[in-house]
Amino acid sequence: MFKTFVTVLIFGVLIGLSSAIYLLGLDYIQEFHQTNTIYPYFMILVFTAIILVKQNTLYFPKTVRAVVDASETEQKYWSKFSFAWNLMGSWLSHLVGASLGREGTAIVLSSSIAQLCKLNWMYFKPVIFSATLAGVFGQPLVALIVIIEMFKTNLEQKLYTLIMGWIAVLILQSLDINFLFLEIAVNLSNSFLDKLYVAGFIGASIGIIGRFYKQGYVFLSKYFLIHRYFAAAIVLILSGLLLWPETRPVHSLSLDTWDLILQGHVEVQFVLLKLVLTLGFVSLGFIGGDLVPTVIIGAAVGVLISKLFNVDYTFGLTMGILAFFTAVSRLKWTSMGLIFLVAGFAPMTWAYFSLSLARYISGPLNLYRKI
């Protein structure tokens, strides 16, 4: 018991430090993008390097689903360089402008450290997964919600998850890491029917988008894996597309555009481009995940729909911000918990309606685990 508790404390620090190193690297890449424009030219080189590394090393996971579905035997035989490959692969993927996320890679990095430390994988997998997600969200309570919703665990594991997540958040906060989720002041002054229409329309629209995205990912990832030359041609097309000045808002994490969305400023073409490019880059095998893009796309769709109905944009923002994530991951209660933590209790009924619609319409396919 005492040994396990000490392991939890140490690993909470390791999760915080590994996530901090990764996120600080992404911050430097975002700054680099502000003053440089030629980086998409090197996209085909990064794509080729990722393929060569995968073909010439022992297996290592790149996605959240690969981590969640890994058995103890499979995890034992991951490449010992999994942490390094994922860290460098994700940095390089973002460096050349690929539209990707960051939370997925943070989870893979933590899981790779667990392998190096030879932790009991089946016991610690749900703990590490949930704590890492809470760490990069900046919300310790999210760890407890995730482990309850996604895994079958005992009370001890749930307690350890909360402790580990809390320590990870403290480490990240002490290093001044910027979190994606900030407090949202939601304006609920519009009429009941207006809010009903908007919440329903957002949930239904994002549910349809989510179904398209998930089915598209399953098909394209398999197709690109088999047809490498065609995949390389797509990479060349995407790199050429990213050289256009008009596409700069969709490069990498799109954090500058995220700030504008939080202020209610978004254009339809941004949503379409971000959706298509994220689907393309994730399916092609670039390393980074898709959580941040799903949040940005969902929030953007929410703002656009709220403006269409002349409803305050903060209401649409709150309804959409985690609807796409819910459609992709099916983690409705995790999304509900995050909305409560950043927006308070007032919009929770409307959020439940919107998220439930998005989850139902998007279909049972789950990109985070097999069902």
Q: For residue 69, what pLDDT is reported?
A: 92
pLDDT tens digits, 331-341: 999 999 999 99
Domain boundaries, the chain: 2-174, 192-361
pLDDT at residue 182 greater than cutoff 80:
no
Enter the pTM of the model: 0.94
DSSP output for 32-49: HHHH---GGGGHHHHHHH
Q: For residue 153, what pLDDT is reported?
A: 94
pLDDT at residue 73 greater than cutoff 70:
yes
**Residue whose C-alpha is closest to residue 95's, from 47, 35, 26:** 26
Confidence of residue 179 (pLDDT cuts 50, 70, 90): confident
DSSP helix/strand/coil, 56: coil
**Residue whose C-alpha is closest to residue 40's, from 102, 93, 113, 108:** 93
Mean of the per-residue pLDDT values for the chain? 93
pLDDT at residue 371 greater than cutoff 70:
no
Stretch 184-206: mean pLDDT, rounded?
A: 95
pLDDT at residue 1 greater than cutoff 80:
no
User: Which residues, 6+ apart, have CB-to-CB distance to 168 below 8 Å?
Assistant: 12, 13, 15, 16, 19, 131, 132, 134, 135
Confidence of residue 59 (pLDDT cuts 50, 70, 90): confident
pLDDT at residue 272 greater than cutoff 80:
yes
- Architecture of the CATH domain 192-361: Orthogonal Bundle (1.10)
Stretch 321-328: mean pLDDT, rounded?
A: 96
Give how far Cα 314 sits from Cα of 179, 189, 199, 294, 309, Å: 19, 11, 12, 18, 13
pLDDT at residue 199 greater than cutoff 80:
yes
Domain boundaries 2-174, CATH class: mainly alpha
Let me know if the fold of 2-174 is the same as that of 192-361.
Answer: yes
pLDDT tens digits, 88-137: 999 999 999 999 998 899 999 999 999 999 999 999 999 999 999 999 88
Pick the residue with more confidence: 213 or 136? Answer: 213
pLDDT tens digits, 227-264: 999 999 999 999 999 999 889 889 988 878 888 999 99
pLDDT at residue 370 greater than cutoff 80:
no
Which secondary structure element, helix H or strand E, spans residue 95, and what is its range? helix 82-95
Q: For residue 219, what pLDDT is reported?
A: 96
**Residue whose C-alpha is closest to residue 63's, from 285, 303, 211:** 285
